[in-house]
Amino acid sequence: MIIVLKPGTSKEDCDRILDQIAATGLKPLYLPGTERTVLGAIGDERVLAGLHLEGNPHVETVTPILSPYKLVSRELHPHDTVVPLGPGARIGSDRFVVVAGPCAVESREQLDATAERVKEAGASVLRGGAFKPRTSPYSFQGLGRDGLALLSEVGRRRGLPVVTEVVDVSDLDAVVEHADMIQVGARNMQNFRLLQAVGQCPRPVLLKRGPAATVTDLLMAAEYVVAEGNPNVVLCERGIRTFETATRNTLDLSAVPFVKQRSHLPILVDPSHGTGIRDLVTPMALAAAACGADGLIVEVHENPEVALSDGKQSLFPEQFAALMAALRPFVEAGGRHL
Ligand code: PEP
Ligand code: MN
């Protein structure tokens, strides 16, 4: 419910209404504006109806929030959220952000060589998985906590904030210690306990769309994180499972403008997992920039032919540099700059 107060309502009267909302068990929100103060009440709106706030002399209007997600909806929060990410980096401003790095942290040498090349080409955030939930239990499963330590070491050395995936609540403290942003992978998008746990962490969250999730499911998953008190969520479109077998997934770029119209959260596109094919990564990355994405997350490996995971979709460093060099007009078409 969105409650708009009349101009000139005192802070005491406003606090009284917030207390009334809290007393019903709903979550009260205080959203002061330059001209009007707006209050929010989040939860089961049938409960709020019992308060009859329309009759309060300080209340101008009471409007239900129509979308199933509330906190992440533009109805409640019309302005874009800009997510701060380590020193200097932000996602969701008018600056397009590129996150790049290997699928998995394999060794200090592999990570450092890749980090050097992606930074040189213009990436501003380093990615690398330490916990790798693979389709097969016999595939490389990542270096675990040793991988986290390598990631933060290399990120620091190269001056790049780092993002890595958490797959289990028991690893969360270690991930918070080493990472500037916590990734929730596609397969965990509806792991609600994990979403609630990252919602209580002092780090931004990169939430990837599940392979069989609708965009509304993605936004509802983000709502879980924000409802726990963490407003810094970055969404990620990484392709969904369809009947198409030519590509690993079907990259649903229509999700980008759909999300931008309905939510204030930033959204990145992952053309690597979205296609699974190296030669399709650049065209889809350019298309993602043009349709208004806030940035990209791209897999790059210093030598993809020997990569322990996702080599087929990982760009060679020179391909990544060519992608970065081609981006500008597409980013500008999408209303941002590099
Ligand atoms: C990844 O980014 O390394 C990853 C595993 O992606 P997804 O969860 O989208 O499959
Ligand atoms: Mn991968």
The per-residue DSSP string of 132-194 comes to ---SSTTS----THHHHHHHHHHHHHHT--EEEE---GGGHHHHHHH-SEEEE-GGGTT-HHH
For residue 103, the CA-to-ligand 2 centroid distance in Å is 4
Instruction: Give the number of the ligand closest to the Cα of residue 248.
Output: 1
pLDDT-based confidence at residue 87 (cuts at 50, 70, 90): confident
Residue minimizing CA distance to atom 5 of ligand 1? 185
- Across the range 4-15, mean pLDDT stands at 93
Alpha-carbon gap, residue 165 to 185, rounded angstroms: 6
What's the fold here for domain 83-333?
TIM Barrel (3.20.20)
Q: What residues flank ligand 1, with Cβ below 6 Å?
A: 103, 129, 185-187, 208, 238, 273
- Across the range 92-104, mean pLDDT stands at 98
pLDDT-based confidence at residue 46 (cuts at 50, 70, 90): confident
pLDDT-based confidence at residue 280 (cuts at 50, 70, 90): very high
- Across the range 130-155, mean pLDDT stands at 95
Residue among 238, 248, 301, 309 to mutate when testing ligand 1 (max atoms within 8 A of CB): 238
The CATH class of 2-63 is alpha beta
Residue among 131, 165, 298, 301 to mutate when testing ligand 1 (max atoms within 8 A of CB): 165
pLDDT at 166 over 80: yes
pLDDT in tens, 292-333: 999 999 999 999 999 999 999 999 999 999 999 999 999 999
Percent of the chain topping pLDDT 70 = 100
What is the pLDDT at residue 135?
86
What is the pLDDT at residue 292?
98
Inter-residue contact 174 to 197 (CB < 8 Å): no
What is the pLDDT at residue 45?
75
Q: Which ligand 1 atom minimizes the distance to the CA of 133? A: 5
Copy the structure tokens of residue 331: 């980013």
Alpha-carbon gap, residue 266 to 244, rounded angstroms: 28
pLDDT in tens, 168-227: 999 999 999 999 999 999 999 999 999 999 999 999 999 999 999 999 999 999 999 999
What is the pLDDT at residue 273?
98
Least confident of 30-44, 140-154, 224-238, 305-319: 30-44
pLDDT-based confidence at residue 48 (cuts at 50, 70, 90): confident
Residue minimizing CA distance to atom 9 of ligand 1? 186
For residue 303, the CA-to-ligand 1 centroid distance in Å is 19
Average pLDDT score, the chain: 96
Q: At what angle do helices 108-121 and 317-333 cross, to 10 degrees?
A: 40
For residue 132, the CA-to-ligand 1 centroid distance in Å is 8
Alpha-carbon gap, residue 36 to 9, rounded angstroms: 9
What is the pLDDT at residue 80?
97
What is the pLDDT at residue 287?
98
For residue 238, the CA-to-ligand 2 centroid distance in Å is 11
Residue minimizing CA distance to atom 4 of ligand 1? 185
Q: Which ligand 1 atom minimizes the distance to the CA of 209? A: 9
What is the pLDDT at residue 105?
98
What is the pLDDT at residue 133?
80
What is the pLDDT at residue 31?
85
Domain-by-domain residue ranges, the chain? Answer: 2-63, 83-333
Instruction: Give the number of the ligand closest to the Cα of residue 163.
Output: 1
